Structure 1
Amino acid sequence: MKSNQLFLLPFFFLGFLSIQSQESEKPDKKTYTTTAVAHENAPVIDGLLNDAAWETVEWSSGYVENQPDNGTDPTEQTKFKILYDDKNLYVVFRCYDSEPDKIVKRLSRRDGFEGDWVEINIDSYNDDRTGFSFTLTAAGVKGDEFISNNGNNWDSSWNPIWYAKTSIDAEGWVAEMRIPLSQLRFGNEQEQVWGLQSTRRYFRNEERSLWQPVLPNSPGWVSEFGELRGLKGLKPQKQLEIQPYGLAQVDTYEKEPGNPFRDGSDSRFTAGLDAKIGITNDLTLDVTINPDFGQVDADPGAIALDGFEIFFQERRPFFVENKNIFDYSFAGNQDNLFFSRRIGRSPQGSAFGPTTAYVDSPDNSTILGAAKFSGKTKDGWSVGVLESVTAKEYADVVDVNGDESEVQVEPLTNYLVGRVQKDFNDRNSFIGGIFTATNRSLEDNLMFLHDNAYSGGLDFKHNWQERKYYVEGSAVLSQVNGSEAAITRTQRSIVHLFQREDAGHVSVDETKTSLTGTGGRFEIGRGGGGNWQYNLGGNWRSPELELNDLGFLRQADEIRQYANVRRFWNKPTSWFRRARLGFNQFSSYDFEGNFNRIQYEINGNVNYINNWWTDFGAAHKPRIFVNTTLRGGPRWRYSDENFWYLFSGTDERKKLSMVVGYVNSRASQDNFSLDRYEISFRYQPLNALSLSLLAEYEQNPSKTQYVSQQNFNGTTRYIMGAIDQETLSTTLRINYTINPNLSVQYYGQPFIFRGRFSDFNYVNNPIAEDLNERVTLYGANQIALDGNTYHVDEDLDGITDYSFGKPDLAFVQYRSNLVVRWEYIPGSEIFLVWSQGITGLGEASNDFDTIIDNQLLSERPQNTFLIKATYRFVL
């Protein structure tokens, strides 16, 4: 009864808050009217205000402070002018500064946004949801982002071709831009009206001022823009860009005697092509043939003892650009119908057999080609279609007799994603859909994979009362088809675990050749306006839902309810600039109706008057049942948990800044605990040089870490143990920017994980509240270690009943990248890359110092040297 009362608290709280929000009057919409200029009379982009063309239009000013003190006069005022011709949009800013010698001109790579900067946002669709952002720093560094979802997504991977210069004089600084119309998207009306916003960062006061004032906690960004008028006779521009590349690469590594595949070095030469073709002004076709992403940072080190797949962010430029169009997250931050890292994934088959001596298997599947058709029409249709084909992959094998052969480890695979959304109701609502398909050409040794997999979904969102309130939802349907072995494998996977012995609603059916599942989400809340925001919602994933052929699904068979409330303080006081406090609650069930989890959390952050900051939070978890801990065994109960965290940082504008953080978790009866320590430093001794260092150390002991399953007198013994696990990682980044087009970057991360087991036990009553009833410890005379194997004589009859391997583990990894990037002309680049890597297993009985010495410093790393050149043809 108590749990039901707690469950109802969010409803009463939301009802109370619905009458508490204080309204502010929305600022009037501002308008700027531009005029056309003949192309031959257009301004020269040199950062100076000496072109006669600028005299044909008026300045617009009246910027208003947005942060920290919304609605007040800024410390320094800003003004701008806008012109256009038949090919370009021209913008000039005058950023006043009474102390021009103190203007901060920090260099960085593109999209660095360091120091003083000024920005223009253009909603050329005039749809109140999407926009194009162009930022220029006082040092002349460009930044550009595609804005979507009314400002909730800013895609910095969008890299249009445009031109800009800056200069500093006695009045402050000047920024001048030329933006080709081919880089924007707009309709063909005789007279256009575009959304317009401009932001200036006044670095010394960490102050943001806006041309079009926006209230704190506004329900969106693009929907609050002013207007740009006077655009007459513009003709939509069709974009056509072709970017071929060539690459030479050499890998060196320690020679392995006897292994023909590890002779000390490898080399390759390859070429490919990227193209961007404007089908219409609204819709673009992106094509890549034999893409290479050798200059992309490696994934950070990570270890998962829970059996689940680790989620890594997409880093490859072709898939990152416009990724928001294809996004379809529906039940959490990671669960998504489209996870682009499935394309070009590591081969899923294995070439190892009983007579295998050596294997050379590819690291990733080759992407033969990919095409992406995307854009948004003036009628409010957002469209995205992605098609990709990956090649058959073979591993070279040498057996114990010296005979060579090939074994297929990944089939020829076709991936397809289609996404569409339609705005209506004066852009306050949309409805959309998605379809994905994976089709494989399978051979005998890969029949454990699905022949094909399909998923689809519908989503919607409706805003009302000037977008303050919203309701949104989605629904998902999936189907996978394959051999009986493939579908049985899916049913038994960690995502599904149909073999759970205490589950009455699922069971393994080894005759099935398909699975069909559903999922979805529904949420209603207040997303903007006033000082309060809140929402209430729920999501579900049915037991047979399967998305991992082209999407990402961590776990099926869950129904979740959640509620969130946030209170904002945006008016600066004598000690803070702004602050937030939130309350979150969720509970979850499986499809059998088991009440598995409930959690209450309070969190917040404060930005102090000196620009230091603090993030904090705490949570109580009175009920934790997990269906996956015993890997197909019965539902498992963890002791109730409390956790809290505190992170704080200094002013990030200073040449030296730092962040320290601590996370603490404790379960009752010492079932498990967590202590996580983080400290980071960022130092910028020169405008062109920045260094950052992040060190993380974590202790995460548990008395009930899953180890193995063994048969004992016809029953299954679920064996667990006490683990003492520690993780240590350090990430170093060095950025040296010679000029906005030439930079040197270094990234290095050593990662060490160590887990040592003791106090082995077996599950007695998996849902008992008392930990001592949940498990039974082996006595000293019941278990013995022989080499790397534990032997158990549970009934003490002098005969070993079962055995399991010693689970102690030490994992060591070091990865680094040194990249020289030169954009020798706009859109065309040369990369020089040196990568190093060490990956291996250490000795868990050693301390960290010995592991670092033996498995890191004493090992010879693998080195990769490559040079990659691209040239961007704009036709």
Structure 2
Amino acid sequence: MLNPLSSIAKSAVALALLAAPSQAQETPVVQATRTPTPPNIDGRLDDPVWHQAPAIADFFQRDPVEGAPSTEQTQVRILFDDHYLYFALRCFDSEAERLVANQMRRDAELDENDNIQIILDPYNDHRGGFYFSTNPLGARQDLLLTDEGRTRNQAWDSVWQSRTRIDSLGWSAEVAIPFDQVRYPDSDQAVWGINIGRAIRRKNEEVFLVPPPQSYGFMGRYRTSRLAVLTGLGRLQSRPPLAVVPFFLSGTQRDFTVDGSTEYDLDPGLDFKYGLTPSLTLDLSYKTDFAQVEADQEQINLTRFSLFFPEKRDFFLEGAGIFEFGERVERQGSGGRPPTLLFYSRRIGIEEGHNLPVLAGGKLTGRAGPYQIGTLRMTTQAMTFVDEEEEHEAQVDLSEATIVDTLRLHVLDTLHVAQTDFTVLRIKRDMLGRSNLGFIAIDKQPGSEADYNRTGGVDFTLSLLQAALNLRGFAAKTWTPQVEGRDRAGLLELDYRQGRFETRLNYLDVEEDFAPEVGFVPRTDIRRFKGSGRYRPRPAIDWIRMFSIGPRFTYLMDRGNTLQSRDFQFSAFVNLEIGDWFGVRYQQRYELLDEPFEIRDDQEIPPGAYEFGSYEFNLFANSSRRLSGRASCEYGDFFNGTRQRISTETIWRYNARLELEGTYEFNHINLPNGTFNTHLFGHRFLYSFSPDMFVRGFLQWNSAQELVGGNFLFNYRYLPGSDLFLVYNQVWDTEGGLEQASRSLQLKVSYYWQR
């Protein structure tokens, strides 16, 4: 039988050999000018020093007309001194009164506002970079980009300045980015990669110094594959950064499900950052705390497998790109399944839904020549958790007359977790332009030396045709006591993007005992083929910007080649010129159940083979409007029954300060042995006092979990990098009424000191 891995690899090599080299495109060159006097960062652009720098004014569209000149004029000037890189940006607008600006909070998503974007690639290798953005209200967003911008690290938090102003000509911005906030090599004649972009939201227009091709898709604005060149910086000698962030945490928490006692905490902690070299940074943390992290968004699980939740903790998100190993994480709602990952940082400090205190931890991330390096060491505290009481009925004989009564027996479910050390080593070697070869080693070591779990793997990326064609893959193995053999996994993936067309093919092979306990593996003992294709034509119709049409499929067998699951989808979407989307999706599924599927406590779907299909209709309103949202409905067969689903989200931005959001999902499941409904409700509010002060709250109810959760957070960044957080959490149990389950109140104050 032909080995699927070998077949895919041979096909990829053949494509590479047949492909003709693409013609090189002219790369724009922009110049930075040294200034002896720093400009005053106030957004006015009236400082005379700006006239020392030449104006950059050639901007071209990515949307709606690829390559066409911008319909509104933009001018940029760049200065620098020993400590900062400065930008002056003038965004002219013929209808300045129609600027779209409804976000003020730091780190808000600014994509749907008028905004300017700056991407810096200090190594000029197109593999990643630093992203800075601001809007007319002065909101600041920064991202760390890896994998040529395909991966965005939203938790990366740089200390930089920006000020903006709105006037009759449009709006303007001044930006100051400290050199010590970005990693760069020492050089006598520094040459950086750079791109500058602007969004004109009332026209749904995006313009850039170097427009990313439309074939890059919706996230193309973050791509570093094609950049301009920034010169004039001369000799740059970096000084390794040193930052110390002491913090103080005080709080109280109470669990009503056990004994109702109240616990009080008063703990200091320390975060430490030091640049061992200009490109290699050491992060140390003592009493690592995540008090300010928002709770996970509830999900309804109608599958047989675990739900996937994204990481939200800053310590793990900062520099997370180097530790990625496995399948790409698809966008939520894209119709895909959870990924197979060798390293999933949520396995550290979280055990069966319980938060474990992190005693200490450290990271070393960065570059050394052509090598990307990441090491991680964390230690979690030993804990014992007593879960909510489980009630059982028992018939008890109370007398010789055999009088029988019913008593309620309360049983406590106790979870013991040993102190555990986690170690990760990740190295990637850049080669052949934009390709790389790497390996990862992961060790989980609880209290007993005999009770360990280890994972090792190698992976590669082969990037061809200016990153239009990419071949990726990995091979991995786990080591667990008393388990030998059948503990390997492998992946091969091919994706191709050109013009309006893109396609992806994927083969995954996971043996039965492959068990990376610090990873995420939805399913073992499988061979899975997956593929998708997308065609995005742009018709000559005034009110339509783009169609998006294509199939995707999944074919999953066990390793005995028995079909276990098959999923075929075909979807068609329309993007209107006004920014709205609507579309339909058809899905046909096959599922083989070897054992009963308990879809809820009192209902099971019996073993057997099931084939069923459904239709889904979607509408997305342009999120740059004051009132926006989405709606989705699905109906069709579901195993041996039927399912109807309705999902809505409404966002109302009353003004630049106040935002209200409501979400609701309803499922009606009709099976031969009964009918049931699920409800998922969420409400969120956000009020921004300034770009550095906001209050946020949310309330969510999951009928399947019979829980209501609430969260309130106040954040004030009183100095650059220094924060005050006040966090209140409340959980209610809705089984048989509305009873308090737990509540907590925490205050965290941090101070950022930098050399």
Task: Say yes or no: TM over 0.5.
Answer: yes
Q: Tell me if 1:409 matches 2:392.
A: no
Sequence identity (%):
25
Given candidates 349, 359, 373, the residue that maps to 1:383 is: 373
Amino acid at match of 1:142: R
Q: Tell me if 1:45 matches 2:41.
A: yes
**Could you tell me how far 1:311 is from its partner in structure 2?**
2.6
Q: 1:33 to 1:525 in 2, by over 3 A?
A: same
Q: Tell me if 1:433 matches 2:403.
A: no
Is the Cα contact below 8 Å between 1:248 and 1:269 reproduced in 2?
yes
Tell me, what secondary structure is at the counterpart of 1:325?
Answer: helix
| Structure-to-structure mapping, 1:705-716, within 5 angstroms | none
Given candidates 310, 318, 343, the residue that maps to 2:307 is: 310
Is the Cα contact below 8 Å between 1:108 and 1:735 reproduced in 2?
no
Given candidates 803, 812, 821, the residue that maps to 2:715 is: 821
> TM-score, with normalisation over the residues of structure 1?
0.76
**Could you tell me how far 1:529 is from its partner in structure 2?**
2.4
Relative to structure 2, which stretch is displaced further, 167-176 or 120-129? 167-176
Name the CA distance, whole Å, in 1 between partners of 2:540 and 2:357: 54
| Structure-to-structure mapping, 1:321-336, within 5 angstroms | 321-330=318-327, 333-336=338-341
Q: Which structure 1 segments of 5+ residues have no match?
A: 5-9, 349-362, 398-405, 444-449, 482-511, 704-721, 754-810, 843-854
Name the CA distance, whole Å, in 2 between partners of 1:698 and 1:347: 26
Q: Identify the residue that residue 665 of structure 1 maps to in structure 2.
A: 636
Given candidates 293, 315, 321, the residue that maps to 2:290 is: 293
* Deviation readout 1:598-638 (Å, 9 max, x if unpaired): 332212322112221114311223x432446569x999433
Aligned residues: 702
Q: Identify the residue that residue 643 of structure 1 maps to in structure 2.
A: 614
* Deviation readout 1:69-105 (Å, 9 max, x if unpaired): 2222323121101111111111110111123333333
Tell me, what secondary structure is at the counterpart of 2:212?
Answer: coil
Amino acid at match of 1:327: E
| Structure-to-structure mapping, 1:28-39, within 5 angstroms | 28-38=26-36
* Deviation readout 1:495-529 (Å, 9 max, x if unpaired): xxxxxxxxxxxxxxxxx455651111112231x22
Name the CA distance, whole Å, in 1 between partners of 2:299 and 2:374: 33
Q: Identify the residue that residue 113 of structure 2 maps to in structure 1.
A: 115
Amino acid at match of 1:368: L
* Deviation readout 1:221-243 (Å, 9 max, x if unpaired): 21211111111111123111111
Q: Tell me if 1:422 matches 2:429.
A: yes
| Structure-to-structure mapping, 1:184-263, within 5 angstroms | 184-218=182-216, 221-252=223-254, 261-263=259-261
Q: Tell me if 1:275 matches 2:244.
A: no
Tell me, what secondary structure is at the counterpart of 1:341?
Answer: helix
Is the Cα contact below 8 Å between 2:287 and 2:358 reproduced in 1?
yes
**Could you tell me how far 1:303 is from its partner in structure 2?**
5.8
Tell me, what secondary structure is at the counterpart of 1:835?
Answer: strand
Name the CA distance, whole Å, in 1 between partners of 2:278 and 2:82: 14
Is the Cα contact below 8 Å between 2:568 and 2:587 reproduced in 1?
yes
Name the CA distance, whole Å, in 1 between partners of 2:651 and 2:356: 37
Q: Tell me if 1:561 matches 2:512.
A: no
Is the Cα contact below 8 Å between 2:156 and 2:314 reproduced in 1?
no
Is the Cα contact below 8 Å between 1:478 and 1:516 reproduced in 2?
no
Name the CA distance, whole Å, in 2 between partners of 1:572 and 1:866: 57
Given candidates 350, 355, 371, the residue that maps to 1:364 is: 355
Amino acid at match of 1:314: E
**Could you tell me how far 1:407 is from its partner in structure 2?**
8.7
Q: 1:729 to 1:739 in 2, by over 3 A?
A: same
Is the Cα contact below 8 Å between 1:70 and 1:571 reproduced in 2?
no
Q: Tell me if 1:393 matches 2:383.
A: yes
Tell me, what secondary structure is at the counterpart of 1:319?
Answer: helix
Q: Identify the residue that residue 654 of structure 1 maps to in structure 2.
A: 625
Amino acid at match of 2:362: A
Q: Identify the residue that residue 558 of structure 2 maps to in structure 1.
A: 590
> TM-score, with normalisation over the residues of structure 2?
0.87
Q: 1:461 to 1:236 in 2, by over 3 A?
A: same
**Could you tell me how far 1:164 is from its partner in structure 2?**
1.1
Amino acid at match of 2:495: G
Tell me, what secondary structure is at the counterpart of 2:50?
Answer: helix
Q: 1:861 to 1:598 in 2, by over 3 A?
A: closer
Q: Identify the residue that residue 601 of structure 2 maps to in structure 1.
A: none
Q: 1:600 to 1:188 in 2, by over 3 A?
A: same
**Could you tell me how far 1:310 is from its partner in structure 2?**
3.1
* Deviation readout 1:730-752 (Å, 9 max, x if unpaired): 11111111110111111110111
Q: Tell me if 1:536 matches 2:505.
A: yes
Name the CA distance, whole Å, in 1 between partners of 2:305 and 2:167: 58
Name the CA distance, whole Å, in 2 between partners of 1:196 and 1:604: 35
Given candidates 351, 368, 375, the residue that maps to 1:346 is: 351
Q: 1:285 to 1:24 in 2, by over 3 A?
A: closer
Question: Which entry has the higher C-alpha Rg, 1 or 2?
Answer: 1
* Deviation readout 1:710-764 (Å, 9 max, x if unpaired): xxxxxxxxxxxx24232101111111111101111111101112xxxxxxxxxxx
Q: Identify the residue that residue 519 of structure 1 maps to in structure 2.
A: 489
Q: Tell me if 1:151 matches 2:149.
A: yes
Is the Cα contact below 8 Å between 1:734 and 1:745 reproduced in 2?
yes
Q: 1:253 to 1:620 in 2, by over 3 A?
A: closer
Q: Which structure 2 segments of 5+ residues have no match?
A: 3-7, 329-336, 388-412, 599-603
Is the Cα contact below 8 Å between 2:127 and 2:148 reproduced in 1?
yes
Q: 1:172 to 1:438 in 2, by over 3 A?
A: same
Is the Cα contact below 8 Å between 2:115 and 2:133 reproduced in 1?
yes
**Could you tell me how far 1:840 is from its partner in structure 2?**
5.3
**Could you tell me how far 1:862 is from its partner in structure 2?**
3.4
Tell me, what secondary structure is at the counterpart of 1:55?
Answer: helix
Name the CA distance, whole Å, in 1 between partners of 2:466 and 2:171: 37
Given candidates 155, 170, 173, the residue that maps to 2:171 is: 173
Name the CA distance, whole Å, in 2 between partners of 1:682 and 1:525: 35
Name the CA distance, whole Å, in 2 between partners of 1:568 and 1:209: 20
* Deviation readout 1:126-176 (Å, 9 max, x if unpaired): 111101011111101111001111121111111110111112233221110
Name the CA distance, whole Å, in 1 between partners of 2:674 and 2:292: 38
Tell me, what secondary structure is at the counterpart of 1:32?
Answer: strand
Amino acid at match of 1:337: L
Amino acid at match of 1:222: T
| Structure-to-structure mapping, 1:468-867, within 5 angstroms | 468-481=468-481, 512=482, 517-526=487-496, 528-547=497-516, 549-570=517-538, 573-621=541-589, 623-627=590-594, 629=596, 636-667=607-638, 671-703=640-672, 722-753=673-704, 811-839=705-733, 841-842=735-736, 855-856=737-738, 859-860=739-740, 862-867=742-747
Is the Cα contact below 8 Å between 2:570 and 2:585 reproduced in 1?
yes
Q: Identify the residue that residue 757 of structure 1 maps to in structure 2.
A: none
